[in-house]
Amino acid sequence: MEHQLVSVIDFGGQYTQLIVRRVRELGVYSEMVPWQKADEHIREKQPDAIILSGGPRSNLEPNAPTIDPASLGDRPVLGICYGLQWMAHHLGGKVIPSDEREYGKRHLGPREPGSLVSLMDNDLVWMSHGDQVLSAPAGFTVTAKTETCPVAAMENTNERRYGVQFHPEVTHTPSGKAILKSFLFDIAKLRGDWTAANFISDTTDWIREQVGDKKVLCAVSGGVDSSVVAALLSHAIADQTTCVFVDHGLLRKGEAEQVRQMFTETFHPNLMVIEAHDQFFGKLQGVTDPEAKRKIIGEEFVVCFERNKAELADHDFLAQGTLYPDVIESGSDTASKIKTHHNVGGLPDWMRLKVIEPLRWLFKDEVRAVGRELGLPPDVVDREPFPGPGLGVRILGEVTPERVRIVQDADWIFREEIRKHNLKEGIWQSYAALLDVRSVGVMGDERTYEQPIVLRAVASEDAMTAHAVEFPFTFLEHVASRIVNEVKGVNRVLYDLTSKPPATIEWE
C-alpha cells in the first residue's frame, strides 16, 4: 500500500522534527526534507501536502533559505513561522524586520470566524520570531493578530494556503494540535493511513525486496530497537535470518542472561551467542578517549560477525536498528557531530556486510508501537534505551572488568530502588556512571581514596532534549548510602542535575 505523504520542508527550525512527529501522531506519514533538497524531493515524491517549517534566518537577507514557489503546485500548504513569512514574501505580501524579537507565550486577539485558527479552544500560542509579516498577500485573509504581531495567522482558502506565525507543534501552544489536525483532514482531506499494522506490511515487502534470497545477520542487544528489527525479520524472512547476540561484557548486571532467555524462550529460538569478553576488554585496554572507545567497540562487533563464526560467512546483510532521528541527523548539512553512535557512521570501512535498516523511517515511540503490534513482551517494548557501546560509554577512563563490576553493581542498586519505590513513571533512562577521578573519604575509621559514582535519570520524549528527574532527597540519600556500603571501590555518589542541552544523556 502506498502511504500518503506530508513533506515538512526544513528551513533550519529547532522544532522541525517535532512537526513531523505531530503529523505522524495524527496518523499521516511525514518526512523532513532540508530546504536545499525540497524542489527535487517534491518532484520525485509528489507529497499530498506540504508544511514549511520555522527557521533562524530572515527572508529579507541575501541568500535566505528558499524553495521554488512553483514546486508547491496546487497542494495544500501550511507555513509555520519562517514558513509563513516565506509565503508572504514570495506571494506578494510584506515582511519587515522587527525591532524586538517576540519570544514566549502570547494570546491571539479576536479570530476570524470559520478560519483555521478559529478551531482552537485556547488562544494561547508560542511565538519565537524576529521578522514579522506586515501585510498578507492578495487573496489572503488575516485571521488573527496579537498585540504586537499584525499577521499572526493568514489564509487563502481558495488556494489552500495557510500560515501561522506561532508554533502549533509545541505543547506550549495547547490547541496547536487542532490546527494540524484540521489542516491534514479537513483541508488536505488525507486518509490517516499511517498505522503500525500498515508499516509492518509495507516493511515486510521492502525487506523481501532488498534481501532477495540472501541471508541476514540480525545483531540483537535485548534493547527495543534491535528486538523489533529481529521480530520484523522473523515476520518477513524467518528462514533467512540469524539473530546474533554478542556478549561483550559491557551490559548491565544480569542482562546477558535475560536476553538469552527472552530470545530463546519467547520468540527466536535459534539465537547465536558469541562470547567475547576477552576480545573486547583486550582491545579496550589502556583506551580512555570516548570516541576511540566507540570506534573500537563498533569495530569489534563487526570482527565478531565477519571473522569469529564460520556459520556467518554466507550472510550478506547486517540488520541494524537505526532510527529516523539518526537518519535526519546524519543527512543534515548543519548538525555538527556530537558523538559517533556506533550504529550510525561508526562501522569500519573494511566491513563486507551490507547494512539494512528497517526502522530508518521511525521515531522511538513508533518503534514501540510496531513492537506491540508484533507481539513483543512489554518488558522488551517498554525497556529503557541502552547505548550500543554499552557500559563502555558509562565508564569514564579505561574500561576494565573491575570497573565494569563497580558500575554494574551501583547501577543495579539504583534501578532496584527506583522499582521498589515505584518511581519508574516518567523516566526515559536511569543509570549509574563511573568517573575517572578519586577522592578521599573515611570508612570505619580508615581513610579511603576511591572513585565516585554518578547517578543519572532523565525524562525525555525522544532523547533529543532531556531533563533530570526530580527524586525525593531521602530517596537519593538512601541509594547513595547503599552504593557506598555495598559496592567496593566507591566512596562518593553524585546526582547529575544537568539537562540536555547543554549536557547529553550519556556521559561520553
Residues forming the active site:
81, 167, 169
**Can residue 476 be called a binding residue for ligand XMP (CB under 6 A)?**
no
CB of 442 to ligand XMP, least distance (A): 34
* Other C-beta atoms lying within 10 Å of the C-beta of residue 448: 16
Q: Which of residues 87-126 bind ligand XMP (CB under 6 A)?
A: none
Q: Which of 80, 128, 73 is nearest to 106 (CA)?
A: 128
The answer to whether residue 325 forms part of the interface with ligand XMP (CB under 6 A) is: no
Looking at residues 425 to 454 of the shown chain, list those that interact with ligand XMP (rule: CB under 6 A): 429
Residue 506 contacts ligand XMP per CB under 6 A: yes
Torsion angles phi and psi, residue 288, rounded to 5: -125, -20
When the beta carbons of 385 and 441 are compared against ligand XMP, the nearer one is 385
CA distances (Å), origin 340, targets 117, 284, 344: 42, 17, 7
Tell whether residue 456 is a contact of ligand XMP (CB under 6 A): no
Residue 178 or residue 458: which is nearer to ligand XMP going by CB? Answer: 458
What are the phi and psi torsion angles at 431 (to 5°)? -165, 170
Contact call for residue 389 and ligand XMP (CB under 6 A):
yes
Out of 47, 65, 79, 388, which residue is the one contacting ligand XMP (CB under 6 A)? 388
User: Least distance to ligand XMP from the beta carbon of 92, Å?
Assistant: 44
Is residue 342 involved in binding ligand XMP (CB under 6 A)?
yes
Single out the segment in contact with ligand XMP by CB under 6 A; choices: 285-293, 470-478, 487-495, 500-508. Answer: 500-508
Q: C-alpha cell of 41?
A: 524531493
Classify residue 86 by burial, with Cβ atoms within 10 Å: 0-12, 13-18, 19+.
buried
Nearer to ligand XMP, 75 or 341 (CB): 341
H/E stretch holding 449: strand 446-459
500 binds ligand XMP (CB under 6 A): yes
Residue placing its CB nearer to ligand XMP in the complex, 55 or 290 = 290
User: Could you say whether residue 504 binds ligand XMP (CB under 6 A)?
Assistant: yes
Yes or no: say if 67 and 35 are a contact pair by the CB < 8 Å rule.
Answer: yes
Stretch near ligand XMP under the rule CB under 6 A, chosen from 150-158, 201-209, 437-445, 499-507 = 499-507
Question: Would strands 354-356 and 317-319 be described as parallel, antiparallel, or unpaired?
Answer: parallel
Of 424, 508, 426, 415, give the one whose Cα is nearest residue 460.
Answer: 426
Shortest reach from residue 457's CB to ligand XMP, in Å: 12
Instruction: Kindly report each contact of residues 404-407 with a partner whose C-beta sits within 8 Å and lies 24 or more positions away, as own/partner.
Output: 404/249, 404/250, 406/434, 406/451, 406/453, 406/487, 406/488, 406/489, 406/490, 407/432, 407/433, 407/434, 407/453
Q: With binding defined as CB under 6 A, does residue 387 bind ligand XMP?
A: yes
Nearest to 247 by CA among 143, 390, 126: 390
Residues in contact with ligand XMP by the rule CB under 6 A: 294, 339, 341-343, 385, 387-389, 393, 429, 463, 500, 504-506
